[in-house]
Structures are given as C-alpha cells and as structure tokens.
C-alpha cells in the first residue's frame, strides 16, 4: 500500500521526506491528522474551516522579517545600508498584511471546488 506522503510526493515530483516534513508541520498546526498503524492521513477539521493563511503559516513563517530577509551586516557608514531596513519595513509589513488578508479569505474548500470544476 502506498502512503499518503508517497502519493503526494509522486504528484509533486519530490522526495516523500519533504512531504512527510510538511505533513508533520500541518499536524502540529492542528490541520492534519495522521493515524499510526493504518497510515491514514486526513484533515483535522473541515476544508471549509481551513484557510490558506493557516496552511501557509503552518509551513512557513508569517513574520515580515522571515518572509523578507535582510542582510544583517550592512555598512553603518552607508546612508542606504544603515537605513534600508527601517525604510522598507513599513511597506513590507503592508505587503505581508495584504498577503495575509488574501490568503485568509480563501478556504481549502474553495480550492477543492475550483479543482472539481476544472477536471470535469
């Protein structure tokens, strides 16, 4: 019997270990339930209750400084280098807030419905 991670890995054309790591993060976030023994993997709540922001932040950081990384050793004597982080942060925060709002508005069920329309 093929495991859920192997099936997902085949579909994504990647190593099953990568999928298992993602499944683990989704499980830790309360989005996925994996059962020992039978290897069954299922959503921990309905697809209508899971939005894309919850999925994103289960797997990646939702923090501005993690999404947009800055070089840590900019020159303190350079006017741009010494101020770039402070200059950009408000705009990057706005971008993250827009991303959050956009992903929060889309549920997993929305994607499932869209997929079924495409494959019919």
| Residues 114, 78 share a domain | yes
Residue 64, number of CB atoms within 10 A of its CB = 19
User: What local confidence, expressed as pLDDT, does residue 38 receive?
Assistant: 65
Give the residue from 4, 106, 119 showing the smallest Cα distance to 51.
106
| Residues 106, 89 share a domain | yes
| Residues 56, 17 share a domain | no
| Residues 58, 17 share a domain | no
| Residues 70, 13 share a domain | no
| Residues 36, 52 share a domain | no
Tokens representing 110 are: 């929305």
DSSP 43-78: ESS-GGG-BHHHHHHHHS---HHHHS---S---TTS
| Residues 69, 34 share a domain | no
Q: How far apart are CA 72 and CA 62, in angstroms?
A: 20
| Residues 50, 36 share a domain | no
User: What local confidence, expressed as pLDDT, does residue 74 receive?
Assistant: 87
The pLDDT > 70 percentage for the chain reads 96
Tell me the pLDDT tens digit for each residue of 77-119: 999 988 998 999 999 999 999 999 999 999 999 999 999 999 9
| Residues 80, 113 share a domain | yes
Place of tokens 């994504």: 12
| Residues 61, 26 share a domain | no
| 49 contacts 29 by C-beta, under 8 angstroms | no
DSSP 4-43: HHHHHHHHHTS-HHHHHHHHHHHHHTTSEEE-TTT--EEE
| Residues 62, 9 share a domain | no
Q: How many independent structural domains does the chain possess?
A: 2
Please give the residue range of the domain that contains residue 105.
46-120
């Amino acid at each position: 019997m093929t495991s859920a991670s192997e099936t997902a890995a085949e579909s994504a054309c990647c190593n099953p270990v990568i999928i298992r790591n993602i499944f683990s993060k989704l499980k830790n976030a309360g989005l996925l339930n994996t059962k020992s023994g039978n290897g069954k993997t299922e959503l921990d709540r309905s697809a209508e209750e899971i939005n894309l922001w919850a999925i994103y932040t289960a797997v990646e950081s939702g923090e501005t400084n993690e999404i947009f990384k800055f070089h840590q050793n900019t020159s303190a004597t350079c006017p741009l280098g010494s101020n770039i982080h402070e200059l950009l942060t408000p705009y990057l925060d706005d971008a993250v807030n827009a991303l959050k709002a956009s992903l929060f508005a889309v549920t997993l069920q929305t994607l499932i419905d869209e997929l079924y329309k495409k494959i019919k």
